[in-house]
Structure 1
Amino acid sequence: MGNLTNAVTIVTSASSGIGAATAKRLAASGARIVLAARNEDKLKGLVSDITEAGGTATHRVTDVTDPDDLKALVGLAEETYGPVDILVNNAGLMLFSKWEDTAVGDWDRMIDTNLRGYLHAIAAVLPSMLERKSGRILNMSSVAGIHVGDGAGVYGATKFFIRGITESLRQEVGVGSGIQVSMVSPGVIDTGWADKVSDAEGRKAANELNKGAIPPEDIADAVAYALDQPTSITVNDVVIHPTN
Structure 2
Amino acid sequence: MSYLGGKTAIVTGASAGIGAATAKALARQGVNVVLAARDRSDLDALVAQISEEGGQAVSRVVDVTDLDQMRALAAFTTQTYGSVDILINNAGLMLFSYWSDLAVEDWEKMIDTNIKGYLYGVAAVLPTMLEQGHGQILNMDSVAGHQVDAAAGVYSSTKFFVRAMTESMRKDLGVHHGIRVNTISPGVINTGWADKVTDPQGRKAAQELNKIAIDPADVAAAVVYALDQPENVTVNDLIISPTRQNW
Normalising by structure 2, report the TM-score: 0.95
With 105-114 and 25-34 compared, the bigger mean Cα shift is at: 105-114
- Could you list the per-position Cα deviations for residues 109-160 of structure 1 after superposition, in whole angstroms to 9, with x for gaps in the alignment? 1111000100000000011111221000000000100001241111111100
List gaps (5 residues or longer) in structure 2.
none
Residue 59 of structure 2 corresponds to which residue in structure 1?
Answer: 59
Residue 134 of structure 2 corresponds to which residue in structure 1?
Answer: 134
- Percent sequence identity over matched residues? 61
Alpha-carbon distance in 2 for matches of 1:152, 1:181: 26
CA RMSD of aligned residues (A): 1.3
Alignment of 1:99 onto 2:99: yes
Please report how far the alpha carbon of residue 106 of structure 1 lies from its aligned counterpart in structure 2 after TM superposition.
1.4
Distance verdict in 2 for CA 1:211–1:105, change over 3 Å? farther
Residue 175 of structure 1 corresponds to which residue in structure 2?
Answer: 175
1:96 is paired with a residue of what secondary structure?
coil
Distance verdict in 2 for CA 1:205–1:66, change over 3 Å? farther
1:59 is paired with a residue of what secondary structure?
strand
Please report how far the alpha carbon of residue 175 of structure 1 lies from its aligned counterpart in structure 2 after TM superposition.
0.5
Distance verdict in 2 for CA 1:68–1:59, change over 3 Å? same
Distance verdict in 2 for CA 1:114–1:205, change over 3 Å? farther
- Could you list the per-position Cα deviations for residues 66-107 of structure 1 after superposition, in whole angstroms to 9, with x for gaps in the alignment? 011111111111111011000011011111111111111211
- Could you list the per-position Cα deviations for residues 44-78 of structure 1 after superposition, in whole angstroms to 9, with x for gaps in the alignment? 00000001000000000000000111111111111
How many residues align structurally?
244
Residue pair 1:96, 1:203 contacting (<8 A) in 2 also: no
Alpha-carbon distance in 1 for matches of 2:90, 2:37: 10
Q: Following superposition of structure 1 onto structure 2, how do residues 190-209 of structure 1 map, counting pairs within 5 Å?
A: 190-198=190-198, 202-209=202-209
Residue pair 1:97, 1:201 contacting (<8 A) in 2 also: no
Residue 151 of structure 2 corresponds to which residue in structure 1?
Answer: 151
1:152 is paired with a residue of what secondary structure?
helix
Residue pair 1:98, 1:202 contacting (<8 A) in 2 also: no
Alpha-carbon distance in 2 for matches of 1:200, 1:157: 25
List gaps (5 residues or longer) in structure 1.
none
Amino acid of the structure 2 residue aligned with 1:143: V
Residue pair 1:184, 1:239 contacting (<8 A) in 2 also: yes
